[in-house]
Amino acid sequence: MQEDDLKTIKVTIAGRTFPVKVDDKEETVVKDLEQELNNKVLELQNMYPGRDKLDCVIMTLLTYTFDQKKSGVTADQDILGTIEEISATLSDIDYTT
């Protein structure tokens, strides 16, 4: 991906704004993630009213990290699965026509 294909959008999580460079396809994903993270932080703030916002952000990070580790799927495994699917698709193509 070339730098020219990227645009900078502002993402606000827990009241803090960050610039994020994305392409057109990633923008929707990032905006959805922004909403999801803010909802989780708010949920934790409601569950633990004595905690400050940073505590809730860290608890959100721990929750997502734990869920990813528990699923047992690493980024490498995900990539390998995608490569295998592409390879299988390419093997099924009849190049003689």
Tens-place pLDDT, residues 16-68: 999 999 998 899 999 999 999 999 999 999 999 999 999 999 999 999 888 88
Q: List phi, psi (to 5°) of 52.
A: -85, 170
Question: Per-domain residue ranges for the chain?
Answer: 3-92
∠ CA(45), CA(46), CA(47), 5° rounding? Answer: 95
E strands present in 1-97: 7-13, 16-22
Measuring CA to CA, which residue among 47, 19, 49, 54 is closest to residue 34? 19
The whole-model pTM stands at 0.68
36 or 75: whose pLDDT is higher?
36
pLDDT band per the 50, 70, 90 thresholds, residue 13: very high
The residue assigned the tokens 């995900």 is 78
Q: In the prediction, which pLDDT does 95 show?
A: 54
Q: In the prediction, which pLDDT does 96 show?
A: 56
d(CA 82, CA 97): 26
